[in-house]
């Protein structure tokens, strides 16, 4: 079943672990924006989509990437950049410094100027990261790139942008394969176990 009303969406979101107050706040935007015709494969993509956006946003509680990390957490998220505690300690609980370390001046993200890493941290659903990705979504949405920081805080636009990002990035051949979807979203397998379990719960909730 593909939810069509705000009450149906509220129940589905709560079943997937979203707080009742948060589910109530987001139910109407979901009902207005999330429809089968928005997905290339229709209803078949919904469980994968929900698993990723809910995981990335901590069940719709965070629309902005939280980089206030401990050294131990950094080692898990970016093992190649922080192979030891000593290498991670200087960036511990320093979000702006960490953003510049992991995202700053990276061609793959389109960050080509000092400060771009912090200026383009992950926002929205899933958390869109990097100047190039912000520009890409702005183009897909027909929006001015300079408005993205504001627009990616508005529930309806967040959902519309997430759908544009999803259809642009997630290949049809990856759908139903949690590992493939996760790699396209996150670049690796961090969070794979959690998103695979959440996708299974979504299929049950939608049945």
Segment 36-55 shows an average pLDDT of 96
Give the 3-state secondary structure of the chain. CCCCCHHHHHHHHHHCCCCHHHHHHHHHHHHHHCCHHHCCCHHHHHHHHHHHHHHHCCCCCCCECCCCCCHHHHHHHCCCCCCCHHHHHHHCCCHHHHHHHHHCCEHHHCECCCCHHHHCCCECCCCECCHHHHHHHHHHHCCCHHHHHHHCCCHHHHHHHHHHHHHHHCCHHHCCCHHHHHHHHHCCCCCHHHHHHHHHHHHHHHC
pLDDT classification of 1: cutoffs 50, 70, 90: confident
Q: Residue 187's pLDDT is what?
A: 87
- pLDDT value of position 70: 97
What is the model's pLDDT at position 116?
A: 96
Provide the pLDDT for residue 82: 97
Instruction: State the pTM of this model.
Output: 0.90
CB 83 within 8 A of CB 55: no
- Report domain extents, the chain: 6-63+122-206, 71-119
Residue 124: pLDDT band (50, 70, 90) is very high
């Amino acid at each position: 079943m593909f939810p069509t009303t705000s009450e149906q969406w509220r129940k589905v979101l709560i079943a997937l672990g979203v707080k009742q107050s948060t589910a109530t706040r987001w139910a109407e935007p979901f009902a207005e924006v999330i429809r089968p015709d928005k997905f290339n494969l229709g209803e078949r993509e919904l469980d994968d989509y929900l698993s990723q956006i809910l995981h990335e946003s901590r069940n719709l509680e965070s629309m902005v990437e939280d980089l206030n990390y401990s050294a131990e957490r950094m080692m898990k998220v970016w093992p190649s950049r922080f192979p030891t505690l000593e290498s991670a300690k200087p960036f511990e609980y320093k979000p702006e410094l960490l953003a510049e370390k992991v995202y700053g001046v990276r061609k793959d993200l389109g960050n080509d100027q000092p400060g771009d890493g912090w200026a383009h941290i992950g926002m929205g659903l899933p958390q869109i990261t990097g100047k190039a990705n912000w520009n890409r979504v702005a183009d897909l949405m027909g929006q001015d790139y300079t408005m993205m920081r504001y627009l990616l805080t508005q529930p309806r636009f967040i959902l519309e942008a997430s759908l544009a990002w999803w259809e642009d990035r997630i290949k049809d051949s990856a759908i139903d394969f949690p590992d493939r979807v996760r790699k396209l979203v996150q670049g690796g397998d961090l969070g794979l176990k959690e998103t695979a379990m959440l996708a299974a719960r979504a299929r049950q909730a939608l049945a």
